[in-house]
Structure 1
Amino acid sequence: MLVPVTISEVMSPEVSTVGPDVSATDVATRLFEEDIGSVVVVRDGAPVGIVTESDMVRLLAQGNDAAGVTAADCMSAPPITIDRHESLELAVERLREHGIKKLPVTDGDELVGILTTTDLSYYLPHLTRRAGQQASGAERHERARVDTAYEEDDWEFESVGERADHIDVGDVVRFSKTLDGADVDAFAAASGDTNRLHLDADYAEGTRFGRRIAHGTLVAGVVSAALARLPGLIVYLSQDVSYLGPVDIGDRVTAICEVVEELGNERYRLTTAVFDGEGREVIDGEAVVIADPIPETA
């Protein structure tokens, strides 16, 4: 199931806080005793700064007397915060933009939680990459795959690489198809996933989505379809998936996979992403595959 998740559902509501006038020694003691990496400095319930372990190290390296310095003197201010109702994607962008690992979460001016890269990793484990971006450098050539079977008129695929018969880092493959009601019904029957969210319009209307949506695993299946268009007989070794948003029944989805690392012995690591018909990323992930030779009889 694809579930839109807000920051309020991922954040930790338990935040270690101190006042601006607390001594740096007390802050260091708090960090040590609670085994945490930072404390948020608050005034009247609102965050005004954050003190991290790095701030404490910098304080001592500069020869300051921790007992004579307050949290306000060594905190990073103003703090980079995010509202509890914002999206996880915005949180990722903010963490990247500022090169930080923690975001105090607010509701208006009030501090209500904290969001860390660890919290986000459970929902978006691949925070530092964007699938489907073609590597620059060598000239790229579109490749035709003639040995896949059972092609449908509605399907589209494109495989781009330096060589027609070998996989290289930077190669990109795309596959698109429409996920219609027949696909959803067939997947429910084949997999046994008869969750009413996908099959019963009246039931689905009362859920957080307000309508039927495609199975998450069905949507992720187009990644496999894309990988099958790479040179060789492609065999999955592993796949990690993060579900970022729902896909409506009847929507056209596109999988984009890029080879990012050659692991040896014809094994490759790829970024894998799926986009809906409006270009929104609904699946983010990573796969490892092996490319066996295509049998001569094929």
Structure 2
Amino acid sequence: MLVPLSVEDCMVRDVLTTTPGTTVRAAARELSAADVGSLVVRESGEPVGIVTETDLAHVLADALDPDEVTVGTVMAPDLITIGADATLERAAELFERHDVERFPVVDDGELVGIVAVSDLADYLPHLTDRRRRVEAAFEADPHPHLPSESPEMAYDHPDWEFVGEGTGDGLGVGDVVRFRKRLTDGDVRAFAEASGDTNRLHLDDEFAARTRFGERIVHGVLTTGVVSAALARLPGLVIYLSQDLRFMGPVGVGDVATAVCRVTEDLQGAKFRLDVAVYDADGEAAVEGESVVLVDELPTGTESAAVPVEEAAADDD
């Protein structure tokens, strides 16, 4: 059984730190001596910022005195940290969202390490491959449907992300699947048409602005559909038997929703119980609960329709 890798598994534990009052020249000497690219800035023991070689170079480029300018003046404001127990997928998402190169790592409020984008590269090569596939697909078609890598699925989309963590040979307790998708205005309007739920809370900006939510939100059932999408990508033909869910908060139209499903019990007879949840773009739980599924064998002769994006593009030429 594979255990999901966390930031703690790949972070650098020996973190060089400095203080806001340290001069730029002194900080530059520390970076040079240690041959590292950044220092975490601490004040009263708490991490409050991060300063990089680039930050220090700007001081010289602006003809400022490195013996007078302090680290506190040039360090990156609004420090963003990440927990040691965060998954590598979550770290990759945060790196992309905030467009930074490294995060200080904290555990119970204590600075325990630092993690850089490069530290993740060896662990998540599929992310780099996925980014290339996304870029190639969108160049060929602004609304592409791609052949799926999973034989269970009719098609995929390059903007959807699926990650499975488990044995790779059937299901077992502890296996985890994650599916991430942006719930767009088009999704909401298509669901309203298909379901008949045309509540103005989902479709009318002016109306929704006057409600407790202050904006349009995604249908609750559409949000739970991201759970269905995750479970459908389990190995085999997944059939829902039951679902018990609690709605914890809304997902805004246009936000990314992430379903996380963990197998908690093997009920025998190819039946499994899973804890399921959907998280909004800020990592807050929108849905929590559990599902029971039956996993049948795929029909004889079923094969994946997956083809490389490059080949698909070549066939269209």
**TM-score between both structures, scaled by the size of structure 2:** 0.47
Q: Which has the higher helix share?
A: 2
Name the structure, 1 or 2, with higher relative contact order (CA <8 Å, separation 6+).
1
